[in-house]
Structure 1
Amino acid sequence: MKHVAIALYPDFLLLDMAGPVEVFSIANRYLAPCQHYRISTFATAQRNVRASSGITVQADHLVEQACADVDLLLVPGGPGAYNAQHPELVAWLRAAAQTVQGYGSICTGAFILGHAGLLDDHRVTTHWHYTERLIKAFPKAQVGTEDIYIHDRKLISSGGVTAGIDLALSVVAHDHGRKVALDVAKVLLVLMRRQGDQAQFSPLVAEVAAQDSPVTRVQHYILDHLEQPLTLERLAEAAALSPRHLSRVFIRDVGMTPMAFIQNARIDRARNLLESTELPLKTVAFKSGFGSVRHMRLLFNERLGRSPAEYRAQFN
């Protein structure tokens, strides 16, 4: 019997806890009693813990009552993970991680593991919206910016919200085989097609800042003219700067070259069209400025690890 313990703290995201719990609970229907998952929750100061949704959950135990037979220790995400400090929980996690078979995080729960020093020299992922923040907060971690979930030695981690279900299904598949995990997925009406290295649906281009500057004017110009040929000289003319000066300030303010921004913006445009329309691939390529389906397919495979057709299939 494998004991899965979930650490709770004020302002955790309820689905980050409930999703994996249901996966392990439903898996028990297909397992012999000796193979069942035993699930428990732990809290620090008091057993009643309020989630970010306003719902209060009663933890099974306080951390000082934690038994030594925990096999897998999970930390859900939520606003409380990155907006508050949890010294008692962090200290317990740091100690418990030395004895458990595995530990991990769902979504932004990675921030709490990071404060416990458990991300250092490990590959980890989180919700796409918080990857940059995680990178800056824990520079010794190797943050995957697009992975749905990652297994790295004792550490497992997932992207945002429902990715916790994918992570738990991967644990069940590892423990008891893909057939059991597939049976659980069918009960939950989710697909087992998502793999750990499948890209999260995060945009490759961040939202353009509101203030007016030569760089933001160029960004808006690019987004308004994606279907047209765009050269550095043309962008420099729109910004009233020399090409060399534009490249320098663009990299400084955006963190990438103008040409890289164009490429990412075109991929984002194509992704949006693939997700929300049934336009032929040739039309998607034209409207996104790729010029050909072949060029679009090449960049999709390079950046997202799948073809445009495979990407679209995820939404059908």
Structure 2
Amino acid sequence: MKTVAMLLFPDFLLLDMAGPLEVFSIANRYLEPADHYRILTLGTESGPLRASNGVLLQADLTLDQAGDAYDLLLVPGGPGAYHECPATLLPWLRSAAPRARRFGSICTGAFILGHAGLLDGHRVTTHWHYTERLIKAFPKAQVETDRIYLQDGRLITSGGVTAGIDLALAVVAQDHGKQVAVDVAKVLLVVMKRQGGQAQFSPMVAAVAQRETPVTRVQMQVLEHPDHAFTIESMAALAGMSPRHFARLFVKEVQMTPMAFLQGARIDRARQLLESTDLPLKTVAFRAGFGSVRHMRALFSEKLGLNPTQYRQQFN
């Protein structure tokens, strides 16, 4: 029997906890009793803990009652993970994680692992909205921004919220074979392997900075008119600079090249049209500035992991 332990703390995200644990619970229906998962919740304090949605939940054990030799030790995300970690959690986690067969996080639970020093030198992921913040907070970690879940040795991390279900299905497949995991996925009405990664949910370009600069003026022009035939030279002219100086300054301010920003803006415009209209793909490609459906399809497949038709089917 394998023990799965989930750490709970004030302001955790309930779905981060419930989704993965439901996977292991349903897996028990397909396993012999000796192979069942034993599910435990471990609380940072005695008494009910309030999740971020207001639900109160009583953990099975407090940390001072808990053991530390678990087959899988998981940390959920939530405001309580990325705002302020409970002081008692970090030293316990530093001691328990090395003794666990596997340990990891769901969504922003990665921040707690980071504060415990458990991400350094590892490839990890988190919710797309928080990847930049994770990169800045823990520069010794190798943060991958487009993964649904990611395993690096004994450490396994996942993207946002429901990606914890994907993580748990992967663990079940490792422990008991793919067919058991497929059976569980069918019960939950989810797929074993999603098409594409987190990029299909996140914008390709970040919001433009509030302060007005020559670079931000060009960004706004690109976002408002992605169908225009922009070049480095034409963007530099809008900024009143030489192409070389403009390109260098753009990268410094935006952390991407002008042409990468243009490409991202066009993908975002196409996605907006695919989500909100039934326009033909040829019209979408034209209005987004791709010039052809073939070009749009190639970039969607490269950047999002699915083609425009598949994207529309998922989000329209």
TM-score range, shorter chain: over 0.9
Structure 1 counterpart of 2:164: 164
Structure 2 counterpart of 1:253: 253
Could you tell me how far 1:313 is from its partner in structure 2? 4.3
Residues matched between the structures, number: 316
Secondary structure, counterpart of 2:4 in structure 1: strand
Could you tell me how far 1:236 is from its partner in structure 2? 2.5
The 2-side partners of 1:279 and 1:191 are apart by 28
TM-score (norm 1): 0.93
Map Cα deviations across residues 194-229 of structure 1 (whole Å, 9 max, x no partner): 168564511110112333322221111001111121
Map Cα deviations across residues 7-63 of structure 1 (whole Å, 9 max, x no partner): 111111111111111111111112221111111111123242111112221111011
Structure 1 counterpart of 2:136: 136
5+ residue gaps, structure 1: none
Could you tell me how far 1:149 is from its partner in structure 2? 0.7
Structure 1 counterpart of 2:40: 40
Contact 1:72 1:103 in 2 (8 A): yes
Alignment of 1:140-289 (within 5 A): 140-194=140-194, 199-289=199-289
Could you tell me how far 1:69 is from its partner in structure 2? 4.1
Within the alignment, does 1:52 sit opposite 2:52 as a pair?
yes
Contact 2:76 2:105 in 1 (8 A): yes
Map Cα deviations across residues 243-300 of structure 1 (whole Å, 9 max, x no partner): 3332233222111121110011112222333344443332222121111222223322
Contact 2:5 2:39 in 1 (8 A): yes
5+ residue gaps, structure 2: none
The 1-side partners of 2:183 and 2:277 are apart by 31
Structure 2 counterpart of 1:297: 297
Within the alignment, does 1:80 sit opposite 2:80 as a pair?
yes
- Alpha-carbon spacing, 1:84–1:195, altered in 2? closer, same or farther (3 Å): same
Secondary structure, counterpart of 1:4 in structure 2: strand
Secondary structure, counterpart of 1:98 in structure 2: helix
Contact 1:108 1:126 in 2 (8 A): yes
Aligned-partner residue type, residue 244 of structure 1: R
- Percent identical among aligned pairs is 67
The RMSD of aligned alpha carbons is 2.0
- Alpha-carbon spacing, 1:128–1:197, altered in 2? closer, same or farther (3 Å): closer
The 2-side partners of 1:200 and 1:7 are apart by 30
The 2-side partners of 1:148 and 1:212 are apart by 36
Structure 1 counterpart of 2:90: 90
Secondary structure, counterpart of 2:6 in structure 1: strand
Could you tell me how far 1:95 is from its partner in structure 2? 1.1
The 2-side partners of 1:197 and 1:235 are apart by 31
Deviates more, 1:219-228 or 1:208-217: 208-217
Deviates more, 1:165-174 or 1:306-315: 306-315
Map Cα deviations across residues 85-123 of structure 1 (whole Å, 9 max, x no partner): 333211111111111110010000000001111111111
Contact 2:145 2:198 in 1 (8 A): no
Aligned-partner residue type, residue 92 of structure 1: W
Deviates more, 1:146-155 or 1:25-34: 25-34
The 2-side partners of 1:84 and 1:223 are apart by 36
The 2-side partners of 1:150 and 1:314 are apart by 23
- Alpha-carbon spacing, 1:56–1:73, altered in 2? closer, same or farther (3 Å): same
Within the alignment, does 1:2 sit opposite 2:11 as a pair?
no
Aligned-partner residue type, residue 258 of structure 2: P
Aligned-partner residue type, residue 130 of structure 2: Y
TM-score (norm 2): 0.93
